[in-house]
Amino acid sequence: MLGVVDRANIVIIGGGVVGCAVAHAVAQRWSDVFLVEQMPRLGMGASTRNSGVIHSGIYYPPGSLKARMCVSGNRLLHEFCAAHNVPHRNCGKLVVAQGSGQEAVLEHLAENGRANGVEGLRLVDRATIYAKEPHIVASAALEVPSTGIVSAEDLVKTLARLATDRGANLLPRARVVRLDPRTDSIAVTIAEGEASQATGAAAEETIEARCVINCAGLYADEIAALLGNRSYRIYPVRGEYCELVRAKSYLVNNLVYPLPHSDGLSLGVHLTRTLWGTVLVGPTADYISDKNDYERNRLPVEEFLRRAKPMLPEIEAADLQLAYSGIRAKLAPPEHVGFTDFVIARDPVAERAIQLVGIESPGLTSCLAIAERVVSLAAEILEG
C-alpha cells in the first residue's frame, strides 16, 4: 500500500475528525503527508458516535484551550460547512433551569460564556421557552444562538476528500505498532491490513517521518507511550443514547440541555433534534474499563426517562428506544472533580512529535481550530 515511499514530512496517527482536519490543514503547506488509521474506514471512533453539536463555548474556563478552540472552532466550522455543503443547521440551543437555585447557575454560565467571547447569550423566561419549545418545562433558560448541529460523518468525509485533493495520503487499515524517535526523524512502524491467518502477523512497513502528530483519540496515551512519554492516561467514559420513537419526535424542536454536571464529567443528558428529524436523548456518562466496550451492560430506557422527564414531562418509557453509544477520551480519573483541558503540545522529550491528548467534547466543534494550532507547532518542527 505504501509502495516505495518510506519518508514523510508528517505522519498523522488516527483518522477521526481531528486527524482528518489536521491532514487537511497541514497538506496545504507541506507535501508527503500521511494519515494512518487502524480501522477499515475513517471516523469510526468518537468522531461519529457523538451528539453532532457545534458547541458555542459557554462551559469552559476563560483562557483554557477548550474555550479558545471551541469559540474559534464554532465559527470556522459553520463557515466550512457552508462553503463545502456539509449538512448542518444553525439552530441555537436552550440550557434550562428548574427553579431559582438553578437559575443562578444559568447566570454564571452566561457570564462565563461572555468572558469566552460567545455572542448573543440571553436569559429567557417561560413564555419565550414555550414559544420555542412548547413541550419543555423549565422556569428559565439560557438561550445560546451560536450553537448548531452538524453531520459528523459528512464532515469527516469532506475533510478527508479535501485533504486527499491537497495531496495527503490517507491510509485506512494501517495500525501504528512502534514508534522510534531518532535525531532527525521518528520511525513509524505500521501493521497493514488484517493479521494473516497463516502467520498471525500483519505485514509491517516503516516510514521515516520528520514530524509525527498523535491524533489517536482513546488510544492517544498508548501512542504517547510508544514515543516514550508515559505521563498520560486516558480513562474511557461511555456515553449512551436513546432515541424518541418517531411519533414523539415532534416534542423537541431543537437542542435542549439541562445544567452541566457540577463535577465536570459531562454536559448532562440532553435532547437533540438531529438533522434527520429524530430526537436523541443522552449521552449518559459512566467510566468503563475497556476502551472498546460500546454495548455491554447498556442502561435501561427507564434511566433515560428519569433524567429527561423533568424537562420533558410528556414522555414515557414506551416512547424511548436504545440507540448508539460513544466513548469519551477523558484525562480525568473517576475521583477527579473539576476541569481538565485539552493537551495540544509538542512532546517535551520526543521533539518531533505533537501530542493531542484528552480531545473529548468539544473536540468535534474545535477540529478546525485545533488543526490551525497544530500547523503552527508543525512549522516549529519542520521549519524552525
Ligand X SMILES: Cc1cc2nc3c(=O)[nH]c(=O)nc-3n(C[C@H](O)[C@H](O)[C@H](O)COP(=O)(O)OP(=O)(O)OC[C@H]3O[C@@H](n4cnc5c(N)ncnc54)[C@H](O)[C@@H]3O)c2cc1C
**Under the rule (CB under 6 A), what is the footprint of ligand X?**
13-19, 36-39, 44-47, 49-53, 55, 175-176, 215-219, 223, 239, 283, 326-328, 359-365
Alpha-carbon distance of 9 to 382, in angstroms, equals 8
Q: Which is nearer to ligand X, 140 or 212 (CB)?
A: 212
Provide the minimum distance between the beta carbon of 274 and ligand X in the complex, in angstroms, as a whole number: 11
Alpha-carbon distance of 267 to 109, in angstroms, equals 12
Strand partners, 329: 236
Q: Which is nearer to ligand X, 112 or 365 (CB)?
A: 365
Q: Which is nearer to ligand X, 331 or 364 (CB)?
A: 364
Question: Where does residue 383 rank: exposed (0-12), middle (13-18), buried (19+ CB within 10 A)?
Answer: exposed
Provide the minimum distance between the beta carbon of 198 and ligand X in the complex, in angstroms, as a whole number: 23
Provide the minimum distance between the beta carbon of 334 and ligand X in the complex, in angstroms, as a whole number: 16
Provide the minimum distance between the beta carbon of 44 and ligand X in the complex, in angstroms, as a whole number: 6
Provide the minimum distance between the beta carbon of 176 and ligand X in the complex, in angstroms, as a whole number: 4
Provide the minimum distance between the beta carbon of 19 and ligand X in the complex, in angstroms, as a whole number: 5
Q: Which is nearer to ligand X, 18 or 140 (CB)?
A: 18
Neighbours of 207 (CB within 10 A): 24
Provide the minimum distance between the beta carbon of 233 and ligand X in the complex, in angstroms, as a whole number: 15
Torsions phi, psi of 204, nearest 5? -115, 145
Q: Cα dist. 341→61, 243, 363 in Å?
A: 9, 30, 11
Provide the minimum distance between the beta carbon of 191 and ligand X in the complex, in angstroms, as a whole number: 9
Q: Is 376 left (phi over 0), alpha (psi -120 to 50) or beta?
A: alpha
Q: Which is nearer to ligand X, 49 or 352 (CB)?
A: 49
Q: Which is nearer to ligand X, 13 or 141 (CB)?
A: 13
Contact 189, 178 (CB under 8 A): yes
Which residue sits closest to ligand X, CB atoms considered? 363
Q: Which strand ranges, in their side-by-side order, compose the sheet holding 148-150?
A: 53-54, 148-150, 88-89
Q: Which is nearer to ligand X, 126 or 178 (CB)?
A: 178
Provide the minimum distance between the beta carbon of 139 and ligand X in the complex, in angstroms, as a whole number: 25
User: What is the rounded end-to-end Cα distance, in angstroms, of the chain?
Assistant: 32
Please give the helix or strand (H or E) that residue 381 lies within, else none: helix 363-383
Contact 217, 46 (CB under 8 A): yes
Provide the minimum distance between the beta carbon of 167 and ligand X in the complex, in angstroms, as a whole number: 20
Residues near 198 by beta carbon (within 8 Å), at least 6 away in sequence: none
Strand partners, 191: 175, 204
Alpha-carbon distance of 346 to 343, in angstroms, equals 9
Q: Which is nearer to ligand X, 127 or 296 (CB)?
A: 296
Q: Which is nearer to ligand X, 133 or 153 (CB)?
A: 153
AA identity, residue 123:
L
Q: Is the peptide bond before 334 cis (omega within 30 degrees of 0)?
A: no
AA identity, residue 53:
V
Q: Which is nearer to ligand X, 6 or 125 (CB)?
A: 6
Contact 281, 320 (CB under 8 A): yes
